[in-house]
Structure 1
Amino acid sequence: MTETAVEAARSLGLTVTDPRVLYTAFSTVVHLQPSPVVARVPMNLPDGMKDPEPAVRRQQRELDVVTWLAAHGAPVVQPTPLVPRRPVERDGLSMTFWTYVEVDQTAEPDHFGATARVPELHAQLADYPGELAWMTPLRLIGPGLEAAEAVPGLLEQDDVDRARAEWKVLEPVLTSRSGFEAVFPSATVQPIHGDAPSWNLITTVDGPLWADFEDATLGPIEWDVAGFGPELYRAYDEAARTRDLPTLDPKIQQVVDLARALQVLVCTPLVPLIPELADGIRMFATQWRAMPFAGGLS
C-alpha cells in the first residue's frame, strides 16, 4: 500500500525518497518525504462490509468540504496545493493527498477541550453550500448486522439478535431525513463532520486542526458527539451556550448513542486485521448492553 502511494505521488510530480508511515488502521497515512505531503489510503473492508458508496465520490466530497472550510477560515488540515485536489486511483486503491502538519508531541490529550470546540465547527459547517447525503456513516450498519456472527468473548449471539432487532426499529428513523424529522421535528439538522470530530482534532505545533472529514454528512448535531458520555455532552452544551448556538437534545442523543454502538459492533469482523479494535468494541458493547432497547424508541 505504501509503495502504491509512492508511485502515485511520483506520477503527479512529487519527489519521494523516504516515505514514512504515520498511521495505519482504517486508513494508511504516509508522509511522502521529503515532500511536505501526506497520502491517505483507505483500507479495504471485509467482503461482508463493502461500502456501497464509491471511495472516489466519498473522497471528493471530503476534499470539497475541507477546501470550503479552509477558504472560510476554519482551522483544518488542508489538501496539498502541490497536486490537483481530486482522488487518485492506482492499483485498485483510491487515495487523497494532504499538506503535512507537524504534530505537537508534547501535547496531552484534552477531550473536554476538544469537545468544547465542536460547536464552533458546527457553526462553520452550517453554512456549507454543497450537497451532502443524509447520515452516510450509518450505511454499513444494516449490511454489517446481516453478516454478523457471534464471536465468543466479544460479541455473543444474544448481542447479535438484539442488535438486529434494534436496527429494525431504528432504521426507518435514522436512515432518512423525513423519517428522522417525523420523530424529532425540532432537531438541529445541518452539515456535520460525521466521525467524532473531537477525536479528529490534531494538535499541531501551530495549533489545533480538524481532520478526517471522510464521513461529512447531513444529520443531527448529536451524531458528532455520539457515545462520548454525559460529562462531554455538558462540555459541548456549555460551549454552545456561550456562543448562543444550539445545544444537544437528550432524547436524540440517547438514540444516536445507540446507533454509534451498533456502528462499532459491526466492526467486529475487522478485529483480525486491526487487533486494537477489540478493546474498543468490548467497551462499547458493555455500554450498549445497559442502554434502553432501541434508544427508547420501541
Structure 2
Amino acid sequence: MSLATVGPSGGLTRDALDALLGVVCAEAGLDPSGAELIKFTNNAVFRLRAAPVVVRIAGSGAARARVDNVVRVARWLAGHDFPTVRLLTGVEQPLWLSGQAATLWEEVPDTGPRPGGADLAVLLRRLHTLPDQPPGLPEWRPMDEIRQRLAEPEDLADADRDFLLTTCAEVEDAMSRLCYELPPGVIHGDAFTGNLIPSPRGPVLCDFDSTAVGPREWDLTPVAVGRLRLDYPVDDHTPMAARYGADITRWPGFPVFRRLRELKLVTSVLPILRSHPTVRAQWQHRMTSFRAGDLTVRWQPYR
C-alpha cells in the first residue's frame, strides 16, 4: 500500500497505519521493522524495535488539528525541565505527509512502579503553578473537539449522532452557568494516570493533545470519573484529591463535568469505529448506558 491510498479524512486501518509508519520512518531515517502498535484510539502509537523511539500518528481530523499545539507544549515543558516525554531531536516536528501528521518521541523505559493518583496530583500542582504558558496556547473548547469527531464518524447511526449532538448542546449550556472555584490557567486537558509513564526516575507526563488555557477543575475530573465509571481495580481519586488539596466531587459543578468527560469517552473512537473494529463492542456498551442515563454501569478501557 502506498501513502497515496490513505485518505486524510480517516480510514486508518492497520494496513494503512503500517504504510504510514513506513513513510514516516523513511523520512526520519529510522527502521520500522518489527514496530509494535501499543495504542490506537485518537492516535496510533508505535514503539520501534530498531531504535528507542515512539512514533505517534494522528488518527483523525481532530487529532491532526491539534498536532502543532502538541509540539509547542512539549517544547515549552522541556524548557521548564518538567518530567514529560521528549520530542526526538534532529527531525522536523511535526511531520506532515500527504495530509497525515506524525510526531516522534524519545522512548521512556516503562520500568518504574505504577504511578497513582498522588503522583498525578504532584505533577498537576507543578504544572498549574508554572510561571508562563506556551505561545499560542488555545482556550479550552472541549465541544469543538467533540463536534469535530461527530463530523467524521465511521458507522454511526443517525439516531445516535442526533442524540450526541443534542447532548453537546445541553452540556455546553450547563457549562455556561458554572461557577469555578480554582484559578484558571494552563491545564493538561486529559489528566488521568494512563497518561503517566512509570520511568525509572519517576512518573513522566505524556499526551498534550488537549492542553489549553481553562478551568483547573477539569484536570481533576478524569480521575474522579474513572473511579465512578470505569472498572479500575485501584482508587486513584482519593489519594489524588488528598495530595492536590481539592476533592472535585464536592464541587457543585462536578455532575456537569462528569457528563462532559463521559461524552468525550463515548465519542473518542468515533472516527475509527470501522477501521479499528475491536473497539466496537466497548463503544456500544458505553453508548447504550450513556444514552440511558445509567450512572451505575461500569465501562472498560478501549483495547
What one-letter code is carried by the residue in structure 1 that aligns with 2:40? A
CA contact (8 A) 1:150 1:156 kept: no
**1:222 and 2:238 matched:** no
SS of residue matched to 1:169: helix
Q: Which residue of 239, 244, 253 maps to 1:240?
A: 244
- Give the Cα–Cα distance (whole angstroms) in 2 for the partners of residues 284 and 127 of structure 1: 39
Query: Secondary structure of the equivalent of 1:139?
Result: helix
Correspondence 1:62 to 2:70: yes
Tell me which residue corresponds to 1:35.
51
Tell me how far apart the structure 2 counterparts of residues 127 and 61 of structure 1 sit (CA, whole Å).
Answer: 16
Q: Return closer, same or farther for 1:32/1:147 CA change in 2, 3 Å cut-off.
A: closer
Distance 1:233 1:78, change over 3 A: same
Residues 143 and 172, structure 2, Cα contact 8 Å, conserved in 1: no
Q: Tell me by how many angstroms 1:257 deviates.
A: 0.9
Partner of 2:38: helix, strand, or coil? strand
Q: Deviations over 1:177-199 (max 9, x none)?
A: xx4xx632544321111123422
Residues 102-137 of structure 1: CA deviation (Å, up to 9, x unaligned): 212x74x45434443353343355632423222244
Change (3 A) 1:115 1:278: farther
Task: Check whether the contact 1:102–1:205 (CA below 8 A) recurs between aligned residues.
Answer: yes
The number of residue pairs the alignment matches comes to 265
TM-superposed deviation, 1:17: 6.0
Higher RCO (C-alpha under 8 Å, 6+ residues apart): 2
2:24/2:95 contact within 8 Å kept? yes
Counterpart among 88, 103, 106 of residue 99 in structure 1: 106
Could you tell me whether the CA contact under 8 Å between 2:171 and 2:259 is conserved in 1? no
* Cα distance change, pair 147–188 in 1 and its aligned pair in 2 (3 A): same
Paired-residue identity, %: 20
Which of 266, 282, 287 aligns to 2:285? It is 282
Q: 1:31 to 1:228 in 2, by over 3 A?
A: closer
Q: Runs of 5+ in structure 1 lacking a partner?
A: 45-49, 292-298
Residue number in structure 2 paired with 1:208: 203
Distance in 1 between residues matched to 2:154 and 2:106, nearest whole Å: 40
Task: Specify which of 261, 273, 276 is matched with residue 275 of structure 2.
Answer: 273
Instruction: List alignment gaps of at least 5 residues for structure 2.
Output: 1-16, 229-234, 296-303
The CA deviation at 1:83 is 1.7
Q: CA 1:259–1:64 in structure 2 vs 1: closer, same or farther (change >3 Å)?
A: same
TM-score, normalised to structure 2, is: 0.71
RMSD over aligned CA atoms reads 3.5
